[in-house]
Amino acid sequence: MRAGWVRVDCHLHTAASGDAVTTLDQLAERVSAERIDVVCITDHNETAAAMTAAAAGRLGRTRVIVGEEIRTREGEIIGLFLSERIPYVLRAAEVAGLIRAQGGLVYLPHPYDPARGSLGAAADRLCSDGLADVIEVFNAKIADQALNARASELAARWGLPAAAGSDAHDPPGVGAAYLEMPDFDGPASFLAALVSARVVGEYRAHAPRYKARSR
């Protein structure tokens, strides 16, 4: 990787999400092993773990961007560079406004994945209304790459920067997808650096949460 560039995972979860199992200590071990320089901790409707990790330097040399994957009435939206938690089950446009009011960025994760609470047609509406900043064009938990391709088409259609995330809910998922991009120091420079970003990723299913019982 070039000097002055970093590896960034734009979308992953800790045990604070409720449906994930990764502790902050496990995350610290994994990002070190995978040489991830920046992680966006985007727990479901929660920012406590991300804020703890960011404030306490819990991930060693890996920087933490505080994020949140927020359930809206239309589907899920991620806020990045947050300073406080965003309420859930509001309208998508209202959530986008609350994210931007904090100086954050509106990131649309897995916009067309029917297996999750994705935005679908509402993603286009947010883009057309100028309420989206970044489109996730590669999500490592999507097996059908046609869905990631549709997300790439959405980003291209509206001239928005593309991003990638492991969407890891367990330690083995960390490192499955990330961006290689110029380093940055805030939301504006992050957006500018995304223009040069390179997506690196592979499909990696969630590890089984519970072991099958032996008979």
With a cut of 70, say whether residue 215 has pLDDT above it. no
CA distances for 197 relative to 78, 161, 167, angstroms: 19, 9, 18
Interatomic CA distance for residues 48 and 93, integer angstroms: 24
Q: What is the pLDDT of residue 112?
A: 98
Q: Give 172's DSSP letter.
A: G
- Taking the C-alpha atoms of residue 203 and residue 191, their distance in angstroms, rounded to an integer, is 25
Give the residues across from 40 on adjacent strands: 65
Question: What are the backbone angles phi and psi of residue 29, rounded to the nearest 5°?
Answer: -65, -45
13: tokens are 């979860």
Tokens in use for 78? Answer: 């991620």
- 183-202: burial string, b at 16+ Cβ within 10 Å, e else: ebeebeebeebbeebebebe
Return the DSSP state at 45: T
CA angle 98, 135, 145 (to 5 degrees): 140
How sure is the predictor about 207, in pLDDT bands with cuts at 50, 70 and 90? low
Least confident of 41-45, 57-61, 119-123, 164-168: 57-61
Distance CA 41, CA 39 (A): 6
Give me the pLDDT at residue 208, please: 59
CA dist 93 and 14 (Å) reads 26
- Distances from the Cα of 104 to the Cαs of 11, 42, 65, 148, 197, in angstroms? 15, 13, 10, 24, 19
Q: Binning pLDDT at 50, 70 and 90, where does residue 206 land? A: confident
**Beta-strand pair 76-80/63-71:** antiparallel
Whole-model pTM: value is 0.95
Q: Please give the C-alpha separations between residue 203 and each of 45, 174, 194, in angstroms, as whole numbers.
A: 25, 12, 22
Domain ranges of the chain: 5-201
- Taking only the tens place, the pLDDT of each residue in 129-184 is 999 999 999 999 999 999 999 999 999 999 999 999 999 999 999 999 999 999 99
pLDDT at 175: 96
Angle at 45 between CA 75 and CA 178, to 5 degrees: 75
Tokens of 204: 């990696």
Q: Name the CATH code of domain 5-201 (choices 3.40.50.2020, 3.40.50.12500, 3.20.20.140, 3.40.190.10).
A: 3.20.20.140
Tokens representing 209 are 């949460």
Over range 7-32, report the average pLDDT. 97
- Confidence band of 1 (pLDDT split at 50, 70, 90): confident
